[in-house]
Structures are given as structure tokens and as C-alpha cells.
Chain A
Amino acid sequence: MTPTTTKTRRYRRRAGLVAVALLLVAGVAAACGGGPASASDPTITLYNAQHEQTTNALIAAFTKQTGIKVRVDNNSEDVLTAQIEQEGNRSPADVVYTENSNWLQQLDDRGLLAKVDAATLANVPTADSATNGDWVGVSARVSGMVYNPSKVSAAQLPKSVLDLADPRWKGKIELAPAETDFWPIVSSVARAKGNAATLAWLKGLKANAGTGDNVPDNETLTRDVNQGTTDLAIVNQYYVYRLQAEVGRGSIHAKTAYFAPHDPGYVEDISGAAVLKSSTHQAAAQKFLAFLTSDAGQSIIVHSESFEYPIHPGVAANPELPPLSHLQPTSFTPAELGTGLDAKTLLQQAGLI
């Protein structure tokens, strides 16, 4: 055997070993990857930003009624919106269901949403859906405050959300600016008072919140108020009820309150859903939207742990909640909220996000 052949052989063997290793890696890759669902599969994919338990109850009833299965990706609405934008027309999502309408509007502005069936749109008041009919409203939520009565009395509560920037509240509030529920309030204040005043207000809030200016979410805010870590926080009306459902009535010290009628911080938000233009299951996806806005779907929302308001006429809200007709939010419509991106810029300028 000449040295040359030995060398070549060894080279080949070594190359062979490397190839085996690469094949192994490729095999791992192939074994790990789940293939996409086949077209005949009656399963739709839902990108869900609404409370998981409620959505699961809705899905179970929907599947029972129609036989259509639903695969869910639970995440916050900002993440899901960014995800759909990144995925573009190859998105695996068929339906997207968000807590606030501005994210649906953002997707619609990028031309990613399909028209909602007229019959579905007719299930809810016209003002609660997109003006062009590209997304449909599902439920309503109202922003207010949660406060701890042992720290601050009902009489001492601020009349306006703008008052919370007053140094009087220094060290007594906490904020969750990365929580998207806060954004429509910022947009509402900006519409009422202008950008400069809103920025000054946000900086005041930040100063008052101190180290509590970046609490991760509303659940944490509510819990902090309940255990007296802080006096007061801005959250939607249902968080105290949700905490109560989790820890029991006996452990609830926090209370919900609203700002003065028509205050810019007193906002009715619409949670909505839409079908993606790229969906390959348009008919099944439209059925899901129809179910969400139907009597059956709205009743599930009423009796769930979400404590949001149904918007289908004739379906009564959870009796624990004050009736929606008794509340006097500011006249700030989903159309005026739009994509709500002005809020993001203002929050960035204030250094809150």
C-alpha cells in the first residue's frame, strides 16, 4: 500500500465520518420538525390573546357544535400581531382574537385581514366593529382603577386619570406600561389633551410610580393593590373579579372604581376577532367568528372568569358587574383609537417602555 492510497483512504473515511455526523444532524432536524397540517384537516389555528380559560370554554363549545377542531397559540396581543406581520401571507393562523381592537386595526392596515361575514357583523352594534367590516367586536371592557380601601378612601380617589400625575400620588401608584390595556387610555388622553400634555402626564405618572413604573401586567398590579404593596393602579374593570375567582372572596381587599363620567381615562375598549386573508380555511374560520358573536358564544363569555361585557343585544352581563348602560365612559370609539400607535411613541418618549 503506497502512502498516497493510505492518505486518500483515510481522507475518504474521515470525510465519510463527517458526512455521517451531518446526516445525523439532518436526521435530528427532520425528526424534530412537525409537518404542517394537511389541507383536508378540519382544524383551524387560533392566535389567542384573550384570557385562556374563557377561550378554551368557547373552543370546546364551538367544536361540539360544528365538529371543527381549534389549535390555539396563546400569547399577548402585541406579540401575536408582530408574529403575524413577520409571517406575512404564510401565517399558520386562521383567526386572531385580541383584547383590544387597535391590534386588529394594525393588521388590517397592512392588508392582512379578510372581510367578516355580514351576518356575523350584524350580531353586534356597528360601532363595535371595524368601519370597513374587516374585524368584528366580541366583548367590551371598561377602564378604571383598582384601589386598596385601607390605604386610600373612596372620597380621596382621583376624579380624572390626569390627577394621578399630581405629586400628591408620589409613591402611591404602580404602572404596567408594557401591558397593552394601558395603551388605549394613553391614546384617549392624547386625543383629549394633545400630545405635549399627554407626554407631561406620562412623565408625572412615571415619577409617582417610582420603582413600580414597570410592573409586568395587570394581574400583578391588582395583586399588589390587594395586598397593599401600593395604593392604586389603573386597570380594566374585571381584574378584581378575576383575582377573586382565583384566591377566593375572603382574600379580596381591593375595590374597583371609575373616574368621573366622560373622563379621558374612562374608556370602553372592544375586544375583537378577525379572519386572516391568508387563511386556507376561510369557511371554518368565519364560522368561529359567527360563534363568538352568537347567543351561545356570548353566554359563555358572560359566565366565564373573564368578567367582560357581552355586546350581542339581548345577552345580559354577569350580574356581579354593574350594567354597562349605567357606566359613562368617554366617547372614544374603536375607529378613533385606530392602530393606537401614537400611544407607543408617547410611552417611548416618556421612557416608560
Chain B
Amino acid sequence: MTNIPMTDIQTDVPREAQRTPILVAPPRRHRRWRHQEGQSRAVVAASAIIALALLLPLALLALDARDAGWGEIHQVLFRERSLFLLRHTLVLSALVMILAAVLGVASAWCTERCQLPARRLWTMLLVLPVSIPDFVVGYAWHSIAPTMNGLLAATLVMTLGTYPLVYLPVAAALRRANPVLEDTAHSLGKGRFVTFSRVALPLIRTAVLGGCVLVVLTVISEYGAFEILRYQTFTTEIFTEFQFDPQAAGALSVPLVLLGLLMLGIDGMLPRRTVSSTVSAAPRRARGPVRWRWSVAPMVLALGALVVLGVGMPIGTLGYWMAQSQHTTLPAATTLTSATWTTLSYSAWGAAIAVVTALPVAMMTFRRTTAPRVILDRVTYITRAVPGVVIALSLVFLATRYAYGLYQTSVLLVVAYAILHFPLALVCVKTSVAQASARLFDVGRSLGASPVAVFCRVALPLLAPGLLAGFCLVFLTAVTELTATLVLVPIGVQTLATQFWAYQSEVAYGAAAPYGLVIVVLAAVPGTLLGLWFDRERHTRVSLT
């Protein structure tokens, strides 16, 4: 599964707006807001229901584990193999985190602080790996070099797949930080290294750590790439156990959930908004067309190598296997079309539900931030820490025990996508809600416009970019999702990911390739849109929550 960072992008209030008091967010407990308590209560109630729905998988998991019985849990969880799996998971997470952080920071430095020609193109290429599922990258390397297995292979594949999760927030932080500080350090005779470590690093520290948390969350929930590269972690073990004993699989996921919650906790403790306003409000350097200079040649070569390994290699391999295989072994066009359509519609529905349900939660903390509201808000991020397979298992349990009518239907899979990727939708929607000053709605109402008119003419245009970004982000992540899809896809239905996986498992590399290629194409479109959207923002803040 490929993740993209949850991006909480807060564009500073436009300067004109700062001069016009009416557009600035009002003090929290202004008397004029009293009459809106009712509707605000409705928003809180809706948010509470959504938060409960998002907590459901964890509750179901606990029930499931209880049903499996202590004996079975003890047998699968408390044995030497669990320690082995834990060690595997932790060692890999640490290695990938460090390497992804180094690559992410270095490439962000190149695109944001150096005179790099074709900067926007580089940004897009550097972000592109988020649109390529890690199981496709694993397949690409393993099918070309069958001896590429184990820790080193897993580290390579996951690093190439996850460094954009660090790149994106760090690039955004660098864009926001005033380069004047660094110039000052330079002018005071400090070298590049000292300037970087003493001036720039403190400014991007939060972004780097937030990105690292995302990297670790991605690594601990990855299944496909590790199955191909024969590196066993808790997630691959859950899948194996799920084959024999689905309930014990629930028990096995407890360590993963704890690890995920720990990561979320760490992220919650990261200081936000540490950059002082004088720094963040600084004007950005004008960016004219950049002339080619030989001094940037090594940098271009290094970034080029990174793009070739992370993007060129998997796409090239897919093309190679398609060209290699006989026409008879390639899948029929009809199968490919129907799988494409299935993937498209499931992902789109999942994204739509996630965005619609994110709206009330985003509105809840907009006008007021009381303790219960903040807690509700934080709760909705919990699914981020739960691997897809765990959510899927809990929904299977729910359907077979309490809602059999939903069992083996696409509803379950669509709901799983919505639950799994809800936090992604939320951060995007929140961004838009935060940018839209509440007073604008009230001004519209006070001028006599009906609520519907205000919603259509004021709210919707303001919220549209965030809603669209949220949709793109969830859609792209759902298209590249494998584990929940494998568990929940209804009988007789094939998605691109399940077909790719089926052929890949039979070592039919050529037959799998077209499915992989379509996945990448479908995911690259919203991925590129998002990348451009990111780059356009002047002052961006990127974080998990």
C-alpha cells in the first residue's frame, strides 16, 4: 500500500484580509455566535457518530480476539516467532525511516534551496513514487533479480517508495521558512553544513519527524512487497494466519495496532506552529527561469538516479514483461477493462464517502476548540495507525456475525476504503475549512441570502479545492490498496490489485504487468494533481494531524 502524507496545509490569511478586520476569525466566545450553538451541536453529534464508526474496527477486533480464546492467542502471540517478527518489523522500520529521511530532506533541499533547472518537473517526478504501489515495486525488483530477497531488498524497495512522505512535508516547510535566515548565516561566514544544521534543520525538524512517522506507519502495514521479497513481518504473518484461523489473526494484529498508536502518539507530541510569524510571513524569493549552471550537474545526476530507481525501474519492468510475454498469455482486454472499472468505482465511492463524512468533523473544530471536540477530532485519526488488513478482518467479523446481508458485497470494501483513508480526507477538508473565514458565511446570511445560496455561492467555492484534494488523495490511496481489497473483494469480482496479485503469485509476470501499469496510470493522475496543488501553495504546513 502506498501512502501519501496527510497534509494539513494552512495557507496564511491573505495580507489584504489581515488589514480588513471583518474577515479575520472572531474571538472564540463572542456573543454573536451564541445562536449557532444548535447547529454546532448537530455538527458535534454527527462527528461523534463518525468517530464511533471509526473506532468500530478496534472494538470488533477485541471481540474477535476474545472469541478466538486465550489458548489460541497464547499459541500464536507468545512464542519465539513473535519476537522474530517484531525484530524484523522494527529493524526494517528503523532502516527505512533513516534512509527515507535522508533522501527526503536532501531532495527537498535540492528543489527548494538550489538553483535547480525545471524545478517543477523534478518535484512531480520526486513525488511520483507515491502513485506506484510498493507491491508493484517489489515485483519489479524481484522479477528482474530473483535473488533480491530479505532485509536489504525490503529496505531498498520501501525506501524508494516512502521517501516522498518525507520529501513533501520538508519541501513545504522549507518553502515556508524564510531563506533570509540562511543567507544571514552565510554572510556571517558560516559554511553550508553549519548553516544547514544550525539554521535550516531546526526549522524543518517537525516536518522531518512527521514524515518519519508516516514512513513507519507505511512500513508496518505493508504486505505485498514483503511477501514477494520473502521478508516476514507481522503483516505477512497475519495474512498467513488469516488463511488458517481468521480469529487468531485478529490477535496477531494487536502488536501492530499498539505500534501504530505509539507512532500516532509520537506524532501528537510533535510541536506544531513553532515557526514564528515573522519567519513564516516572510516573502518568498522570486523565482525566475533558472539558467543551467555546471555546479548543479552532480545534483541533477543524483536526483536523476533517484527518479530512475524509484519511477523508471518499476515502470520499465512492467513494460519489459508486457513486451516479453506471448500475446496468448496476456489478459483479455475485457478482463482488464472490467477490473479497471471495478477499481475506479470502488475507489471513487470510498473517496466520496470519506470526503462527505470528513466535512462535519472538519467544521467541528473550526469555530470552537473545546476539550471534547479536540478529543473527538484526534480519535478520527486512529484508523491511520491500523493496517488495512486489520480493518478488513474486523469488517468480516462484523458482517458474518451481525450484518450477514453485507457479507461478500462491495459495500464492505467501499466502507473499508472510507474508514481506512478517512484521516487523509479530513486533513484536506480541514485545510479548506480553515482557509474559509466563518464570517464570510455570516456576512452572506446577514445580507439576506438563503442558507442554500450561501452554501452554493460562498461555502462551496471556498471548500471545493480541499474537497477535491481529499477526494484525489483517498482515491489514489484506494487504487493502490492491496491488503483490505484481497480480504474483502466480493466473490467473482476482480480489481486491478487482486488480478495483479493473482498473476504475480503464479509467477505469471507478463500477465500481471498490464494490471500494474493501469494501477500506476490511474494513481498518477490524482497524484500529479496533488503534487501541483502542493507546489502552488505559498505557505504550507504539513503534518499528520
Contact = CB atoms under 8 A, between A and B. Distances in A.
Contact of B146 (A71, A87, A229): A229
B134 interface: no
Interface stretch (B240-248, B463-471, B522-530): B240-248
B338 to A, nearest CB: 14
Contacts of A25: 353, 356-357
B400 A86 contact: yes
B150 A211 contact: yes
Given A45-B491, A178-B243, A10 B411 contact: no
Contacts of A6: 35
B492 A72 contact: yes
Contacts of B415: 29
Contacts of B228: 216
Contacts of B244: 78, 82, 344, 353
Contacts of B410: 32-34
Interface string A338-353: 0000001000100101
B451 A10 contact: yes
A196 interface: no
A227 B408 contact: no
Contacts of B242: 79, 82
A18 B41 CA distance: 12
A92 B360 CA distance: 38
A40 interface: no
Contacts of A8: 38
Interface string B219-237: 0000000011010100000
Interface string B494-535: 000000001001111000000000000000000000000000
B76 interface: yes
B70 interface: no
B149 interface: yes
A219 B506 CA distance: 6
Interface residues of B, number: 60
Interface in A93-147: none
A25 B36 CA distance: 26
Contacts of B492: 71-73
A212 interface: yes
B20 interface: no
A309 B446 CA distance: 83
Interface stretch (B79-87, B208-216, B308-316): B79-87
Contact of A76 (B39, B243, B396): B243
A191 interface: no
B292 interface: no
Interface in B143-181: 146-147, 149-150
A324 interface: no
Contacts, number: 123
B407 interface: yes
A149 to B, nearest CB: 19
Contacts of A11: 38-39, 41-42
B331 to A, nearest CB: 13
Interface of chain B: mostly helix, strand, loop or mixed? helix
A212 B75 CA distance: 24
Interface of chain A: mostly helix, strand, loop or mixed? helix
Interface string B42-82: 11001000000000000000000000000000011001110
A245 B369 CA distance: 66
B278 to A, nearest CB: 40
Contact of B42 (A18, A33, A344, A348): A18
Given A33-B406, A219-B507, A229-B147, A28 B414 contact: yes
Contacts of A220: 507
B349 A32 contact: yes
Nearest to B490: A34
A21 B408 CA distance: 25
B409 interface: yes
B407 A87 contact: yes
A295 interface: no
Nearest to B401: A86
Interface string B17-52: 000000000000000000111110111001000000
Nearest to A24: B356
B409 A351 contact: no
A351 B394 CA distance: 26
A87 B400 contact: yes
Given A86-B400, A92-B491, A212-B230, A353 B240 contact: yes
Interface string A11-31: 101110010010011001100
A325 B38 CA distance: 83
B110 interface: no
Nearest to A247: B507
A73 B407 CA distance: 14
Contacts of A21: 46, 356-357, 359-360
A154 to B, nearest CB: 25
A215 B507 CA distance: 12
Contact of A227 (B79, B146, B329, B409): B146
A216 B501 CA distance: 12
Contacts of B352: 28
Contacts of A227: 146
Among B246, B329, B346, residue most surrounded by chain A Cβ atoms (within 10 Å): B246
Contact of A86 (B36, B79, B346, B396): B396
A215 B231 CA distance: 10
Nearest to A76: B243
B505 A217 contact: yes
Contact of A78 (B46, B243, B490): B243
Contacts of B502: 74
B243 A10 contact: no
A246 interface: yes
B407 A18 contact: no
A343 to B, nearest CB: 11
A326 interface: no
A45 B490 CA distance: 13
B341 interface: no
A154 B42 CA distance: 77
B491 A32 contact: no
Given A33-B406, A92-B491, A351 B81 contact: yes
Among B42, B245, B329, B410, residue most surrounded by chain A Cβ atoms (within 10 Å): B42
Interface of A: 3, 6-8, 10-11, 13-15, 18, 21, 24-25, 28-29, 32-34, 45, 71-74, 76, 78-79, 82, 86-88, 90, 92, 178, 211-212, 214-217, 219-220, 223-224, 227, 229, 246, 344, 348, 351, 353
17 contacts: A7-B35, A13-B451, A14-B39, A21-B356, A21-B357, A29-B411, A33-B406, A73-B491, A78-B244, A86-B400, A216-B227, A219-B506, A219-B507, A227-B146, A348-B76, A353-B240, A353-B244
Interface of B: 35-39, 41-43, 46, 75-76, 79-81, 84, 146-147, 149-150, 227-228, 230, 232, 240-246, 329, 346, 349, 352-353, 356-357, 359-360, 396, 400, 404-411, 414-415, 451, 490-492, 502, 505-508
